[in-house]
Amino acid sequence: MKLIKLLFLLVILFATTTLQAQTVKHTFALGDTTFLLDGKPLQIISGEMHYTRVPREAWRQRMKMAKAMGLNTIGTYVFWNVHEPQKGHYDFTGNNDIAEFVKIAKEEGLWVILRPSPYVCAEWEFGGYPYWLEKEQGLVVRSKEPKYLEAYKKYLTEVGKQLSPLLVNHGGNILMVQIENEYGSYGSDKDYLALNRKMFIDAGFDGQLYTCDPEPAIKDGHLPGLLPAINGIDDVAKVKKLISDNHNGKGPYFIAEWYPAWFDWWGTAHHTIPADRYVPKLDSVLAAGISINMYMFHGGTTRGFMNGANYNDQNPYEPQISSYDYDAPLDEAGNATDKFMKFRAVISKHLPAGVTLPEVPAAKPVMSLPAIKFTQSTSLFDVLPVAKINSTPLTFEDLNQAYGFVLYRTTINGGKSGLLKLKDLRDYGIIYVNGKRVGIVDRRKYQDSLMINLPKGKVTLDILVENLGRINFGPYLLKNKKGITEKVLFAGTELKSWKMYSLPFDDINKVKVNASVKKAVANNAPQLKKAVFKVDKLADTYLDMSKWGKGIVWINGHNLGRYWYYGPQQTIYVPAEWLKKGDNQITVLELIKSSENTLNAIDHPILDVLGK
């Protein structure tokens, strides 16, 4: 009996000791020139990587690559629209499990810089805001407007429940938390920033808080008492002056976003910048003891309908592509690039004495596959849900729909020609007369109208509208409603009596795809195509969409993103983690080239070809 009691006490002691070891609390503070971890100087060498853009099953592999390049920290935004997709309904599961992402980083020996502000920009749909904010009458984002602050506070409270226990001062690995995001580029209301700080503290974020802004905006965007970090500047003298001028003459000095390249949007060339242009800059910054966060270290993929768009008074509407490769040190699939190896060499020069970097893991396996042939195809017009009826067109928001497509249908008297005008179209519309495609309108090209000829008799007019991504940056964050947002005119007369069919495609498994519909193909109707293909081994691959037109691809239920012949992206990355040995199911929604039925999977990406 004594032996059993002794063993029991030993087990309790071991468990208690282990728990204490796992929850060791650190101190993290701002010194005059550097960060202080447990009273000792810490130079943060961080890389941005977003949990939503990487399959959960691959988080750890990407973090091992971060360690191998010499990073000691990972930076990530937290995305409101994935965590509260509908008002009051929260999701922190699966690929949205941000707490698990942070915990895995700790297991891999990485600190975390957390960026949970409601607005993230990030080339992300609506800058991270959930679509339903547009439905709240009078709500104004990034302001003291009460409805916004109420929604913001409720969301931040839920985020705090997930992440505040993981702060470094609570035994976790989150060093710092950013409030707002480049606010100085948008406004200058210090009272609003102070409310941000209070809400963060109330939500449990009681550690080090900071702000970040580009050079012209740092004066307006920082809050006295918090560290003002700088974005987009790597001149050592300028970094130190900008921060110290806004921080009582002191540091620490932190470049919160250092850009080793840039993102892409449809119809423009893939952005690439040689590593050699950045190596001297990285070397000088690290030699000066300045801390840094690379945006991006690893971009990954903006899957589903989550890409954002840029728009301002000088440039057209510019929706971003699904690949977020970013020409980053780690490519879209998580492999080391030339930039990775050269940055690693620079970082190695500035490591503390006695510290060496782990070996760079080998590149992930990649494969080509035999041609995939689609044997099942169904017209989108044959799988429509129940319609909602209204005199005038309803927006996506009116239909309680966040993303995807809406089909607008009405019946008009034919036997005449005229100009069909969609006011105000957001963002891409395909026009059908009696089921036959007659034209396309595209917001990117300032197209909102076309001439059409109507046959005699009653005519069915269909307009299939795609949300190509809400604006994520600039002055028009609250002009983001989608669909036909005003009215439709034909020959100068407003068309009424509309049926609207919501097509969010939030679960492709619910959509039935049957045998080929030849009539629909002949009319160029949008097609849902399905096939099963086999794989003998698990490896990454890339779907070559260069012969297809425009649409979406799903593999085993995962929405991999958009393709469009405009380019530059001509392939879609398929992560090995989402394949399985044996049968795999692929579904394609093809909007333009209805007769295409063969798809190749190749062993490399094509991100630099512009279509016609």
Contact 573, 302 (CB under 8 A): no
Contact 312, 301 (CB under 8 A): no
d(CA 188, CA 142): 10
Strands 598-602 vs 541-544: parallel, antiparallel or unpaired:
antiparallel
Render the burial of 433-469: b for 16+ CB within 10 Å, e for the rest. Answer: beeebbebbbbbeeebbeebebeeeebebbbbbbbbb
- For the chain, how long is the longest CA-to-CA vector? 100
Contact 296, 328 (CB under 8 A): yes
- Write out the catalytic residue numbers: 182, 257
Lookup: tokens for 443: 């917001």
Three-state DSSP at 86 gives strand
Render the burial of 234-269: b for 16+ CB within 10 Å, e for the rest. Answer: bebeebbebbbebbeeebbbbbbbbbbbebbbbbee
Three-state DSSP at 140 gives coil
Task: List, in sequence order, every beta strand (DSSP E) within 232-269.
Answer: 254-258
Contact 301, 323 (CB under 8 A): yes
Contact 79, 162 (CB under 8 A): no
Three-state DSSP at 382 gives helix
**What residues contact 491, with CB distance under 8 A and at least 6 apart?**
416, 417, 418, 419
d(CA 337, CA 292): 20
Contact 61, 361 (CB under 8 A): yes
- Sheet of 598-602: strand order equals 369-373, 598-602, 541-544, 571-574
- Computed over its alpha carbons, how large is the radius of gyration of the chain? 26
Instruction: Please report where in the chains the tokens 């036959």 appear, as a residue.
Output: 436
Instruction: Please report where in the chains the tokens 């927006």 appear, as a residue.
Output: 395
d(CA 119, CA 78): 9
Contact 121, 167 (CB under 8 A): no
CA angle 509-513-518, nearest 5°?
160
d(CA 85, CA 155): 11
Contact 91, 113 (CB under 8 A): no
Q: Where are the alpha helices (DSSP H) in 246-297?
A: 279-287
